[in-house]
Structure 1
């Protein structure tokens, strides 16, 4: 099974590269497959390539669903979640 994730562009780099943020983790990806991307845009990323731009509202909804799924999986596994500070 493959999973493509919505990620926010935090920096544009030379040679069709960009730095993205996903849940506080930074990664360099290729923008070779998309056009007109700017810092702050959300893109769908799979295996290191941005595949398409994504509406910010849709990206936030999708990221919230991933977070809920992760929390539910941890609860089911019996892992205690840290309280927010």
Structure 2
């Protein structure tokens, strides 16, 4: 299953390439935020296959995370796939 998961931007890694470190449920990964303008530390984004697709507010992000956590195994699988992913 491929979900769009909310994550919080921790830091911009490479602004020219549009890369940022994003944290999802304690997992930190570099993702591409180049599709979005004005993204910075503290912002919440929806992540899918290594790309931030849209900016969301914190309330929406937390509500979505709660719903995803309730999915159980599918959410756990998505987190495992996130842990295994890497953008160089």
* TM band (smaller chain): 0.7 to 0.9
Q: Does 1:47 align with 2:37?
A: no
- Pairwise CA distance, 1:2: 3.0
**SS of alignment partner, residue 69 of structure 2:** helix
Higher RCO, Cα 8 Å, sep 6+? 2
- Runs of 4+ in structure 1 deviating by more than 3 angstroms, as ranges, are none
For the pair shown, the structure with the greater C-alpha radius of gyration is: 1
Unaligned runs of 5+ in 1: 72-85
Q: Does 1:38 align with 2:66?
A: no
Match of 1:60 among 54, 62, 81: 62
How large is the RMSD of aligned CA atoms in angstroms?
Answer: 1.8
**SS of alignment partner, residue 62 of structure 2:** helix
Unaligned runs of 5+ in 2: 74-88
TM-score, normalisation: structure 1: 0.76
